[in-house]
Structure 1
Amino acid sequence: MGRITAFVALGDSFTEGLEDPAEQGYRGWADRLAEHIEARDPGLRYANLAVRGRLIQQIVREQVPLAVASGADLVSLCGGGNDIIRPGARVEQVSRWLEEGVRRIRESGAQVLLFTGFDLRHVPVMRLAHTKIEQYNLHIHDIARRHDTLLVDLWPMPIFRDRRAWSEDRLHLSSDGHRRVALRAAEVIGVPVDDDWRSPYPYVPQQGWTLNRRDDLHWARVHLAPWITRRFNGRSSGDEVDPKRPELIPIYPDARRSG
């Protein structure tokens, strides 16, 4: 992709950047990608409208119109994961909403950056949604072809089968996981970077069955139970949360660059 002057990121917690702490709030792969773009195309304007917990219909209705009105060159759109893991969710309907969002953005003249879902067979509970994620990914590939978009295919990337790419909650990426997604996304859009997302993690011995089960129980108590409770009560982690970067402004308005 040629010079990028304005980048808008849309989606849910993945794009908001949860579990990648910054001085204020979260950083995440989208912020990191914007920094890579800025290094090549100084003066980049960037907005991040993603909000944790958002469903695909909310993303298309609330965020897509703002991205279209912004006149951005590049719009990333990643959503549907919160829908897919819900019981009774229909992959075909989620895919139709995603394609509607892509169509609107492409009609505005912007390029779209799509993402497939991760292969989560190694994650307890989440592995139950494996087949639905795989089906949704097939739709995403088709949408990308039909609308001539860019696509970051996360599913086959082996680095994300390592626990160190994930935060303690096993649902969101770690800081290093976000870093690697940003590197892969930069590669897809043709922005040069110094690091390689493929770099292997240092070897560590596998812990035994007992320690694994203890970790699983801790995770279920601290992270899974609250998630189930919110779903049961019809609440979302994104209730009363606003986009962290709602305006399309220079990424470094005060001329300072982060590391």
Structure 2
Amino acid sequence: MLGDSTAVGLGDPLPGGAWRGVGPLVADALGIGPAGYLNCAFTGARMRCVRTEQLPHALARRADVALVIVGMNDTLRSDFDPRALAADLDHVLAQLRAAGTLPVPVRFHDHGRVFRLPGPLRRALKARIDQLNGVVDTVVSRHGVPCVDLDRLPGTYELASWSVDRLHPSERGHRLLARAFTDVLAGAGVAVPRPVSLACSGGAQASALDHVGWLVAKGVPWLWRRGRDLVPYAAGILVRSALGRQREAPAPDPAPEVATA
């Protein structure tokens, strides 16, 4: 497992404080025991982190399959660079393929729609996500590997699929994502002896106090920090949109000529 906090399993807590999430669910479906499963992901990871810090561990393991969930943290930063993302993802997929590993990355959904961002910020984030997905599409096509499309995944935009923070999948969301990964893997010829169940079980339930606590302690500060990175970009989108409307506006009809005696 390579990637960020979703790959870590955030949003699907177990009693006692550990995280489960998509990785262990897929591993169980494939019949992989704890000794055969490696999660290299960590919270806050960006595409470059996967290339420089996580990939070497995955290559050393020489796994049959590697799930790659990364890119959203890049879209939220002021130094967002699609060319650098493409180079890093290309390197990751090429190295995994060369090691005999089948990588399965994801293309992303409109997360501003889930998080209910204000209009300008949502449009700014959506523009970034579209660019990220363009990178994923190009690199995936180049290497001929399967990919999970979160925007087309049933349940993606349902509130029950998201945890209290609306940033990470809930247990149901992780199960939906794990089912999507195993469907794609099965289509690529990988045996899936135990299909992922969508029935929630074994996870810890969040209380109303958990929801309020997260909003106050983490939700508002997170939105403020990320908003500061996205606001200048969002302002640029609004300005360009306004200028475009001005250029496209029809010229006023000329004033009628007045006959003189």
TM-score by length of 2: 0.70
Q: Residues 43 and 78 from structure 1, CA distance in 2 versus in 1: closer, same or farther, beyond 3 angstroms?
A: closer
Kindly report which structure 2 residues correspond to 1:107-118, keeping only aligned pairs within 5 A, or say none. Answer: 107-118=98-109
- Give the distance between the partners of 1:88 and 1:221, measured in 2 at CA: 28
- Pick one of 87, 112, 122 that aligns with 2:78: 87
Aligned amino acid, residue 76 of structure 2: I
- Pick one of 90, 110, 116 that aligns with 1:124: 116
- How far off is 1:157 after superposition? 2.1
Kindly report which structure 2 residues correspond to 1:17-32, keeping only aligned pairs within 5 A, or say none. Answer: 17-23=9-15, 24-32=17-25
Aligned amino acid, residue 110 of structure 1: T
C-alpha deviations, 1:69-108, integer Å up to 9, x for none? 1111111122121011223412222222111111111111
- Pick one of 148, 153, 156 that aligns with 1:157: 153
- Give the distance between the partners of 2:160 and 2:27, measured in 1 at CA: 23
Aligned amino acid, residue 224 of structure 1: G
The structure with more strand, counted as a fraction of residues = 1
Aligned amino acid, residue 103 of structure 2: V
- Give the distance between the partners of 2:3 and 2:67, measured in 1 at CA: 8
- How far off is 1:43 after superposition? 8.7
C-alpha deviations, 1:26-85, integer Å up to 9, x for none? 0001110101001xx679711111101111111210110111111111111221210112
Kindly report which structure 2 residues correspond to 1:175-190, keeping only aligned pairs within 5 A, or say none. Answer: 175-190=171-186
- Give the distance between the partners of 2:137 and 2:106, measured in 1 at CA: 9
- How far off is 1:223 after superposition? 3.3
| Bigger relative CO (Cα 8 Å, ≥ 6 apart) | 1
Aligned amino acid, residue 222 of structure 2: W
Aligned residues: 207
The structure with more helix, counted as a fraction of residues = 2
- Give the distance between the partners of 1:25 and 1:121, measured in 2 at CA: 28
Quote the residue 1:52 is aligned against: 43
The percent of aligned pairs where both chains have the same amino acid is: 29
Matched, 1:138 2:134: yes
Q: Give the 3-state SS of the residue equivalent to 1:25 in structure 2.
A: coil
Matched, 1:223 2:218: yes
Q: Give the 3-state SS of the residue equivalent to 2:37 in structure 1.
A: strand
The structure with the larger Rg is 2
Stretches of structure 1 that go unaligned for 5 or more consecutive residues are 1-8, 200-216, 233-259
- Pick one of 158, 170, 173 that aligns with 2:169: 173
Aligned amino acid, residue 153 of structure 1: D
Quote the residue 1:205 is aligned against: none
Aligned amino acid, residue 59 of structure 1: V
TM-score by length of 1: 0.71
- Give the distance between the partners of 2:127 and 2:193, measured in 1 at CA: 34
Q: Give the 3-state SS of the residue equivalent to 2:11 in structure 1.
A: coil
Q: Residues 231 and 161 from structure 1, CA distance in 2 versus in 1: closer, same or farther, beyond 3 angstroms?
A: closer
- Give the distance between the partners of 1:131 and 1:124, measured in 2 at CA: 16
Answer yes or no: is the 8 Å Cα contact 1:79–1:98 preserved in 2. no
Answer yes or no: is the 8 Å Cα contact 1:15–1:30 preserved in 2. yes
Q: Give the 3-state SS of the residue equivalent to 1:113 in structure 2.
A: strand
- How far off is 1:14 after superposition? 0.8
